[in-house]
């Protein structure tokens, strides 16, 4: 009990396979979503930055097209009429804090200046600011031209600078600078990051929970196997089995194999228990006989040669009987291992029947033994030769033992589409109808006194039945009291493998063709 409690405690402390699977799948989903999010994030970022760069580029081009008609250095008086802007009083810099760009800039691209995050400035050739679209001074830091990103106040902006050249003189007359604060870009990217975070968290939670439910469903048969193993450990003779699955997958196959293993283990346990019980029961009589004769010898046999001789003969007879009994019990116990050891063995049945026929004719010349074979010379059955021989010898021995008046035995064999049918008929005492259903049981004897006199232990037919059924065959009996018995055996025909063509034959044929040519 304490060991079981410790095992249960240790099992509860172990990390559940369901939790491991759910955690692992959550990590996989998290990694997949993170990679996917990074790809999406940077793709969207590059697309949006590209759009912002295009806006800056188009703004620079549109303003440059308006100012390039000036022939000399840019001034406020030359810039404002072309941009249609009035100067703010008391200021040398034109600004437009409340400027209506719809009236001022008819150009659709220039209308982008109405965005709060875009500031455009115009400068003369010396870099002095002449105009700004917002009420903010924009120092001209770089006059080389181009578009680049710049960090300002913990944010990133796009700065575009272009030198203005006169279309008439081709001289540099000033500069245009556009600063794109990209407020919409930063707002959109922040929303995208929040969405991806929420989507990733939800995806991990939903994916982990789904993985937990799926693995819990798949682990039901394994959990039942574990419970069955625990029951078998406590009670080896249990009949508990796992319900068969109809899914047709690996778990279904595993369940079937596990039940098959339990059935096989159960058979071994039952065979061992039966073996011990039968041996202890059957050995009780010969041991008692030996003990009685030894006590008799101890009392009177030392001085009485007749008692000594009788006791020694009886003791040797019982020892011989015990020897046969133990050997038969071992043969019966080995029959449970046929499926593992001899499943693919085959036997040519015609030759074996002829061999047994000749042996019994030689051993029992007083018997008339007839063999009727309706088989081809090469007929193979799915059974180990020694086992079929043992079955036939058991049946022939019984036929000889119980044929006291009419000493005649008929052996015959034929086949159908699946089996070879063997029949052994005697004309002896026969078997009463009440005993026929029990004659294949262990240690069962129709006439116990007569069987013991003939040296039988009641195991022969049990061994024969066990051996034949282990190869998926069948043994039956027909009998009539006073007329004899017929034992019929059906043994499965062996599956013949197609022989591969012999390369030597091809070579011979080729050589023949060459010779003929």
The pLDDT tens digits along the chain (517 residues) read 455 555 555 554 455 777 787 888 888 988 999 999 999 999 999 999 999 999 899 889 888 888 998 988 989 888 888 876 544 444 444 544 444 444 444 455 556 667 788 888 999 999 889 888 877 767 887 888 899 988 887 788 999 999 999 988 889 999 999 998 888 899 999 999 999 999 999 988 998 888 888 888 877 777 777 777 787 778 777 777 777 766 667 777 877 887 888 787 777 777 677 667 766 766 776 777 778 777 877 776 666 777 777 777 778 877 877 777 677 667 666 666 677 677 788 999 999 999 999 999 888 999 999 999 998 878 999 998 888 988 998 899 889 988 888 899 999 999 998 999 999 999 988 888 878 888 887 766 665 544 445 555 567 888 889 889 989 999 999 998 888 999 999 999 987 654 444 545 555 544 444 444 4
Residue 339 lies in a domain: no
52 and 163 co-located in one domain? yes
| pTM passes above 0.75 | no
DSSP letter at 146 equals: E
Q: Cβ distance 251 to 218 under 8 Å?
A: yes
326 and 404 co-located in one domain? no
292 and 312 co-located in one domain? yes
330 and 351 co-located in one domain? no
End-of-domain residue from the set 296, 311, 334: 334
Q: Cβ distance 492 to 473 under 8 Å?
A: yes
End-of-domain residue from the set 334, 363, 385: 334
323 and 391 co-located in one domain? no
390 and 456 co-located in one domain? yes
Residue 510 lies in a domain: no
Residue whose structure tokens are 């091809």: 506
Residues in the chain: 517
Whole-number Å distance between alpha carbons of 434 and 243: 39
Residue ranges of the alpha helices (H) in 68-149?
76-83, 101-104
CATH number of residue 397's parent domain = 3.30.565.10
Helix, strand or coil, per DSSP, at residue 85: coil
Q: Is 94 exposed, middle or buried (0-12, 13-18, 19+ CB in 10 A)?
A: buried
Whole-number Å distance between alpha carbons of 459 and 228: 35
The total domain count for the chain is 3
Q: Cβ distance 182 to 157 under 8 Å?
A: yes
45 and 77 co-located in one domain? yes
> Could you tell me the two tokens for 124?
């003369």
286 and 352 co-located in one domain? no
Residue 259 lies in a domain: yes
What is the domain range of residue 238?
229-334
Strand partners, 131: 94, 122
């Amino acid at each position: 009990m304490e060991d079981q409690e410790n095992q249960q405690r240790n099992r509860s402390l172990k990390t559940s396979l369901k939790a491991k699977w759910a955690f692992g799948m959550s990590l996989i989903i998290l990694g997949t979503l993170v990679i996917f999010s990074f790809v999406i994030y940077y793709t969207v970022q590059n697309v949006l930055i590209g759009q912002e760069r295009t806006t800056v580029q188009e703004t620079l081009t549109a303003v440059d097209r308006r100012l390039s008609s000036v022939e000399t250095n840019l001034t406020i008086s030359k810039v404002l009429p072309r941009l249609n802007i009035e100067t703010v009083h008391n200021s040398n810099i034109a600004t437009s804090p409340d400027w209506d760009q719809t009236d001022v800039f008819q150009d659709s691209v220039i209308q982008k200046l109405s965005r709060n995050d875009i500031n455009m400035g115009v400068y003369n050739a010396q870099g002095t600011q002449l105009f700004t679209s917002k009420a903010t001074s924009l120092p001209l830091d770089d006059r080389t031209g181009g578009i680049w990103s710049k960090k300002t106040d913990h944010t990133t902006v796009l700065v575009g600078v272009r030198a203005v050249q006169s279309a008439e003189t081709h001289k540099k007359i000033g500069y245009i600078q556009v600063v794109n604060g990209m407020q919409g870009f930063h707002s959109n990217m922040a929303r995208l990051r929040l969405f991806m975070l929420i989507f990733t968290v939800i995806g991990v939670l939903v994916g982990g929970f789904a993985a937990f439910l799926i693995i819990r469903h798949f682990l039901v048969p394994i959990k039942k196997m574990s419970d069955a193993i625990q029951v078998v450990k406590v009670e080896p003779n249990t009949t508990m089995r796992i319900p068969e699955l109809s899914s047709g997958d690996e778990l279904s196959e595993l369940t079937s194999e596990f039940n098959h293993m339990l059935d096989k283990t159960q058979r071994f346990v039952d065979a061992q228990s039966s073996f011990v019980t039968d041996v202890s029961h059957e050995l009780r009589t010969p041991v008692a006989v030996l003990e009685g004769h030894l006590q008799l010898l101890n009392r009177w046999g030392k001085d009485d040669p007749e008692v000594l001789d009788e006791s020694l003969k009886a003791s040797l007879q019982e020892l011989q009987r015990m020897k046969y009994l133990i050997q038969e019990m071992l043969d019966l116990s080995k029959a449970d291992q046929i499926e593992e050891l001899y499943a693919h063995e085959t036997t040519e049945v015609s030759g074996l029947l002829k061999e047994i026929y000749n042996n019994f004719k030689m051993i029992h010349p007083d018997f008339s033994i007839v063999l009727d074979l309706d088989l081809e010379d090469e007929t193979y059955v799915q059974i180990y030769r020694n086992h079929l021989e043992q079955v036939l010898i058991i049946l022939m021995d019984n036929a000889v033992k119980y044929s006291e008046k009419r000493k005649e035995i008929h052996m015959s064999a034929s086949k159908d589409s699946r089996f070879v049918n063997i029949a052994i008929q005697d004309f002896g005492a026969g078997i009463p109808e009440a005993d026929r259903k029990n004659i294949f049981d262990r240690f069962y004897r129709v006439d116990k006194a007569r069987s013991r006199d003939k040296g039988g232990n009641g195991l022969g037919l049990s061994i024969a039945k066990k051996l034949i059924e282990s190869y998926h065959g069948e043994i039956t009996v027909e009998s009539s009291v006073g007329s004899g018995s017929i034992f019929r055996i059906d043994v499965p025909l062996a599956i013949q493998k197609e022989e591969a063509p012999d390369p030597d034959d091809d070579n011979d044929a080729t050589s023949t063709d060459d010779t003929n040519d």
